[in-house]
Amino acid sequence: MAHVFEITKDKKGEFRVRFKYNAETMFTTEGYSSKASAKAAIESMKKNGPGAEVVDSSDG
């Protein structure tokens, strides 16, 4: 499977979600206090991500 969401626990004990493509981390979320919140974030990204607008705030 090329794309994967991975839930990890950081040094502060917070849960984070990594989105990986071919084992390369594409992005990591903020820390969540519970695993349930991290799972809810994944479901939100799955539901809302495909139609998300792209905003280019770069210079040039």
Find the distance separating the first CA and the last CA of the chain, reported in whole Å: 35
- Which residues on neighbouring strands pair with residue 9, listed in sequence order? 15
Kindly report the average pLDDT of the chain as a whole number. 94
Is the Cβ–Cβ distance between 20 and 4 less than 8 Å? yes
pLDDT bracket for residue 43 (50, 70, 90): very high
CATH of 3-46, one of 3.30.160.160, 2.40.50.140, 2.60.40.680, 3.40.50.80: 3.30.160.160
- Tell me the pLDDT tens digit for each residue of 16-39: 999 999 989 999 999 999 999 999
Exposure string (b/e) for 20-48, b if CB count within 10 Å is 16 or more? beeeeeeeebebbeeeeebeebeeebeee
Q: Would you state the pLDDT for residue 20?
A: 96
Asked whether the predicted pLDDT for residue 60 surpasses 80, the reply is: no
By CB neighbour count within 10 A (0-12 exposed, 13-18 middle, 19+ buried), where does 56 fall?
exposed
Mean pLDDT of the 35-49 span = 95
Q: Would you state the pLDDT for residue 59?
A: 83
